[in-house]
């Protein structure tokens, strides 16, 4: 009986345009048309002017065009501070001759383009919530509780976008382009929370975004970039309709050194090969971790999100014994303040 089955490949990258490892997978027999999503960690600064994200996206768009593959979600997250390794995580799905058995399910969607005046406001929350529901349907996931990680690439404001908006008589949530990244990430994360039933849209005001940090999703991972004006959404979860060896679970780190929650999630999964670790990181806004002062928010030379990626990347690398982790900075409304969601995917051992 045919059933959908997921496959996952972690591929090293020597630079933002290095797609040779994925090209080698295609040469080795992987059908390019089975690829549904690529998550990338590029070595830029992760800020507004991080053009490594767009550079990598263009390289993958050209790669897929050469192979006739369309509709692939390409989500690039800049920043590999510390010892994080630049890499690509390639997600595939295909029909296989196997009876359904509970396994990793993947769904994708894209929202319509969003006007700049809606960024960081309830309109963005609703737009993203609708997109997450479409991605769940694409994955065949019915129960929100079966969703373990939602990765979103969302837009940000540039000076040109702000100027154009005010010229039309509208306003933006901020005129500061760097600050707009946080508003976009935060509103997108709240959209995930609404879609998964973690929060009610009616209970969220515009002024709550990036202010009421008690409102969050335990399964959202959002990353803002200049290279798009819509939202790319990837839903990862479990489904009884899928088959294959891949399984996923998640934890919510309560702070940047909460390895106990991550270990517990890892232990819930069956023995097997570690396929991928996906995480969010942010500097605790209180200025302390377990009562001890940190200086990430006081550094005028390096963005706090860069410190957080390096710190949490080091914590998780030590736990899992690998450096090619997908650690994304900026966790507004993504887990509790100073913490963040972590998804773990394993390939279960076969007899």
Binding region for substrate: 53, 77-78, 185, 223-224, 309, 328-329
Known binding positions for Mg(2+): 282, 331, 334-336, 339
Known binding positions: 53, 77-78, 185, 223-224, 282, 309, 328-329, 331, 334-336, 339
Q: How many angstroms separate the CA atoms of 340 and 148, rounded? A: 13
Catalytic residue check, 239 = no
Q: How many angstroms separate the CA atoms of 33 and 43, rounded? A: 27
User: Quick one: which of 274, 282, 284 has its CA closest to 323?
Assistant: 274
User: Quick one: which of 30, 48, 80 has its CA closest to 225?
Assistant: 48
Helical (H) or strand (E) element with 22 = helix 20-27
R_g of the chain computed on alpha carbons: 19
Q: How many angstroms separate the CA atoms of 137 and 128, rounded? A: 14
Sheet of 326-329, strand order: 246-253, 340-348, 272-281, 326-329
Catalytic residue check, 223 = yes
Helical ranges in 140-196 per DSSP H: 159-167, 177-195
For residue 4, what are its two tokens? 């959908």
Give just the sign of the alpha carbon dihedral 73, 140, 270, 266: positive
Name 243's bridge partners: 5
The one catalytic residue among 41, 134, 153, 280:
153
* Strand, helix or coil for residue 249: strand
CA 21, distance to chain mean position in Å, is 22
Task: Determine contact, residues 223/154, Cβ cutoff 8 Å.
Answer: yes
Task: Determine contact, residues 346/273, Cβ cutoff 8 Å.
Answer: yes
Helical (H) or strand (E) element with 131 = helix 122-139
Specify burial of residue 14 (Cβ count, 10 A radius: 0-12, 13-18, 19+).
exposed
For residue 81, what are its two tokens? 């501070």
Q: Using the CB atoms, write b or e for 248-258: b if 16+ within 10 Å.
A: bbbbbbbbbeb
The one catalytic residue among 73, 184, 217, 223:
223
Helical (H) or strand (E) element with 78 = strand 73-78
- The residues annotated as belonging to the active site are 153, 223
């Amino acid at each position: 009986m045919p059933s959908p089955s997921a496959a996952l490949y972690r591929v090293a990258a020597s630079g933002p345009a290095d797609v040779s490892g994925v090209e080698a997978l295609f040469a080795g027999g992987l059908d390019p048309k089975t690829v549904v999503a690529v998550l990338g960690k590029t070595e830029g600064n992760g800020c507004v002017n991080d053009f490594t994200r767009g550079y990598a996206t263009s390289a993958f768009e050209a790669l897929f065009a050469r192979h006739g593959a369309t509709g692939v979600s390409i989500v690039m997250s800049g920043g590999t501070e510390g010892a994080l390794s630049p890499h690509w995580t390639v997600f595939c799905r295909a029909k296989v001759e196997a009876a359904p058995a509970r396994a990793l399910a993947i769904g994708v969607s894209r929202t319509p383009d969003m006007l700049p005046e809606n960024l960081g406001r309830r309109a963005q929350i609703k737009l993203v919530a609708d997109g997450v529901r479409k991605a769940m349907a694409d994955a065949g996931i019915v129960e929100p509780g079966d969703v373990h990680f939602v990765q979103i690439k969302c837009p940000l404001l540039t000076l040109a976008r702000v100027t154009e908006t005010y010229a039309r008589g509208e306003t933006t949530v901020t005129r500061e382009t760097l600050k707009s990244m946080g508003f976009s990430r935060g509103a997108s994360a709240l959209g995930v929370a609404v879609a998964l039933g973690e929060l009610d849209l009616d209970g969220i005001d515009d002024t709550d975004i990036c202010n009421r940090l008690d409102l969050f999703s335990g399964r959202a991972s959002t990353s803002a970039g200049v290279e798009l004006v819509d939202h790319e959404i990837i839903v990862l979860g479990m489904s009884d309709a899928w088959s294959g060896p891949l399984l996923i679970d998640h934890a919510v780190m309560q702070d940047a050194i909460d390895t106990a929650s991550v270990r517990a999630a890892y232990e819930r999964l069956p023995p097997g090969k570690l396929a991928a670790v996906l995480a969010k990181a942010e500097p605790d806004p209180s200025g302390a971790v377990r009562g001890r002062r940190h200086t990430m928010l006081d550094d005028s030379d390096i963005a706090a999100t860069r410190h957080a990626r390096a710190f949490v990347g080091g914590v998780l690398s030590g736990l899992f014994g690998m450096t090619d982790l997908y650690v994304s900075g900026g966790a507004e409304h993504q887990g509790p303040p100073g913490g963040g969601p972590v998804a773990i995917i394993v390939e279960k051992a076969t007899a």
